[in-house]
Amino acid sequence: MNITGIKIRKLMENGRLKGIVSVTFDDVFAVHDIKIVQGDKRLFVAMPSRRDEYGEYRDIVHPITHEARTEIEERILEAFREEKERMQ
């Protein structure tokens, strides 16, 4: 599966949440509400999640392999940085 589109939906300046994006795969499948979060050491990507009956958050969708997660995260963060530069 190839990433064919990344849309930065929202950028935030304050707080740990820095952005919300949508990613399209192969021009036929979209994942919305992927979050860009400022962690203690670096920016990272958090997949869409919901709270279960025990109050814990569970990802609704997520990459299965480390390689897929790395590629998705790198592409999202690259698009995020480009959008921030464009906005300034």
Is the confidence at residue 50, as pLDDT, over 90? yes
pLDDT at residue 59 tops 90:
yes
Domain spans, the chain? 3-87
What is the Cα–Cα distance from 14 to 38, expressed in whole angstroms?
10
**CATH superfamily, domain at 3-87:** Stage V sporulation protein G (3.30.1120.40)
Q: From the centroid of its chain, how far is CA 88?
A: 21
The whole model's pTM is what? 0.91
Is pLDDT of 33 > 90? yes
